[in-house]
Homo-oligomer: A and B are copies of this chain.
Amino acid sequence: MKQKLFTKKFTLTPGECNGQQEMSLSFLVGRIIKVASMHADAWGVGYEKMISNRTAWVLSRLSIEMKRFPAITEEYTLETWIEDYNTRFSTRNMAILDSRGEVCGYARTIWLVLDLEARRTAQMEELNELRTLVLDRPCPIEPPTRMRMEIGKKIDSFAVRYSDIDLNRHVNSSRYVEYFLNQYPFEWYDNNRITRFEIAYAHEARPGIDVDVFREETADNDHALELRHGDNVLCRSRIIFAPRTEPIHIPFNG
């Protein structure tokens, strides 16, 4: 019996925390990818099946809204289900819950099938069963917004390195999130929290290429960011911050 809802519980260990002693957004994106692939595995359409067809699931878009992030040593749960499947993409939602079952936030993710030889999106007849596994449960966050293009001014440049690369030999989806978050000073996160984050992956970033970062504050606390290699847009993001009601204070700790 294939379960429409997949649930996985974790504990946020001290070594997994950021400097604010919470889960970082990039870590959460890694967990979302992990739980998505566990659910796909349970349905028999995970890594092993896909690679036997010379394909892989790749994350195309992601939107997250968080009331709060899990804190150090806290238990948390990810619940996931698919909202839609067609031959071009699948939409997979996540609820992030704390140990009392209270909602920390929600995420909506859109996945494509990548043909690993042709390096382009593929269709797979064998995935049609996913249509029957859609769960009619709402994901109560704003739909993805239209990303502004060719924005802002260049604020950073760097080269893609070994530790940035994943199994598909392009930049790891959660590492892109770090690229964006690292455009703000450490102390920024003591005073501000991320309430909404969107990312749209456009082109694969391969090892060794140079990446430029562009940014524009389009409204108060509402930031549009873009990664480019030359004229080629690799990835776009929108980050909405809110001032923390109480600034982070870590006792005895810097």
In contact, A178 and B163 (Cβ under 8 angstroms): yes
B residues in contact with A208, CB < 8 Å: 185-186
Which of B15, B47, B178, B251 touches A166 (beta carbons < 8 Å)?
B15
In contact, A169 and B207 (Cβ under 8 angstroms): no
In contact, B34 and A168 (Cβ under 8 angstroms): no
Contact with B along A1-44 (1 / 0, CB 8 A): 00000000000011111110100101000100110011000000
Contact A167-B207, Cβ < 8 Å, known A47-B14, A252-B117: no
In contact, B73 and A47 (Cβ under 8 angstroms): yes
In contact, B206 and A254 (Cβ under 8 angstroms): yes
Min C-beta distance of A15 to chain B, whole Å: 5
Interface centre among A19, A24, A169 (most CB of B within 10 A): A19
Of residues 150 to 190 in A, which have CB atoms within 8 Å of B's CB atoms?
161-163, 165-170, 172, 178, 181-182, 184-189
In contact, A72 and B15 (Cβ under 8 angstroms): no
B residues in contact with A21, CB < 8 Å: 167
Interface centre among A21, A34, A186 (most CB of B within 10 A): A186
Q: Does A244 sit at the interface, judged by CB under 8 A?
A: no
Alpha-carbon separation in the docked complex, A161 to B166 (Å): 21
Q: Does A148 sit at the interface, judged by CB under 8 A?
A: no
B residues in contact with A54, CB < 8 Å: 251-252
Interface centre among A14, A116, A185, A254 (most CB of B within 10 A): A14
Contact A207-B185, Cβ < 8 Å, known A14-B167, A15-B167, A19-B169: yes
Alpha-carbon separation in the docked complex, A103 to B93 (Å): 40
Alpha-carbon separation in the docked complex, A129 to B16 (Å): 27
B residues in contact with A162, CB < 8 Å: 18-19, 181-182, 184-186, 188-189
Q: Does A250 sit at the interface, judged by CB under 8 A?
A: yes
Q: Does A142 sit at the interface, judged by CB under 8 A?
A: no
Contact A116-B252, Cβ < 8 Å, known A30-B15, A34-B13, A48-B73: yes
28 A-B pairs with C-beta separation under 8 A = A13-B34, A13-B38, A14-B37, A15-B30, A15-B37, A15-B172, A17-B167, A18-B162, A18-B163, A18-B165, A18-B167, A19-B162, A19-B166, A19-B167, A19-B207, A54-B252, A116-B251, A117-B252, A162-B186, A162-B189, A163-B178, A165-B186, A169-B250, A169-B253, A169-B254, A170-B254, A185-B207, A187-B207
